[in-house]
Amino acid sequence: MGNSLQNQLLKAGLANKKQAVKAKKAKNSKDKLKRAGVDVTDEAAQLAEKAEQEKREKDRALNRQKTEREQAAAIAAQVRQLVQMNRVVERGDIEYKFPEGNLVKTLHLTERQRGSVINGALAIVKVGESYDLVPRQAAEKIAERAEESILVLNKETEEAAEDEYADFKVPDDLMW
């Protein structure tokens, strides 16, 4: 049981007697210098410490990136869920054109939906490759999480203000 690591290495043939004597002398000379009060620095230990610090920094950076990816995935899942719960499924035959980056996209809506988008009651949202209509409240919640998902969200206006001449009747027999 009293076999030191040095003896075990010698017996296994991984080291020879010359190497063992050299290692023992080096250890004794370090001990002697330490007792004399001389600062003994071990270059191998310093390099190992430096490598350990670099490894810790690299691990921290990787953990930060992993956390950011997980947060982005969680936000994307929340946006998908908000859109699925609040989407307006009905579609019409009137084309509504809106910008997406440098492109102009088209979405088919009903007349009522088109008016709601113009008035700001409905918003156009992009999730993945699909475009959906959602109510303003849901769009505001989505904007808190991912502003880039909102393509069209007009300022809210009153419908009565848009049609200023609603009170004036146009006669049926009017000829121009």
Average pLDDT over residues 90-106: 89
Burial class (CB in 10 A: 0-12, 13-18, 19+), 175: exposed
| Average pLDDT over the chain, rounded to an integer | 84
Helix 5-12, helix 17-36: angle, nearest 10: 160
Region class of 92: left (phi > 0), else alpha (psi between -120 and 50), else beta: beta
pTM score, whole prediction = 0.57
- pLDDT of 161 over the 50 cut: no
Domain ranges for the chain? 48-159
pLDDT per residue as tens digits for the range 2-59: 578 888 888 888 888 898 888 888 888 888 877 887 766 777 778 889 999 999 999 9
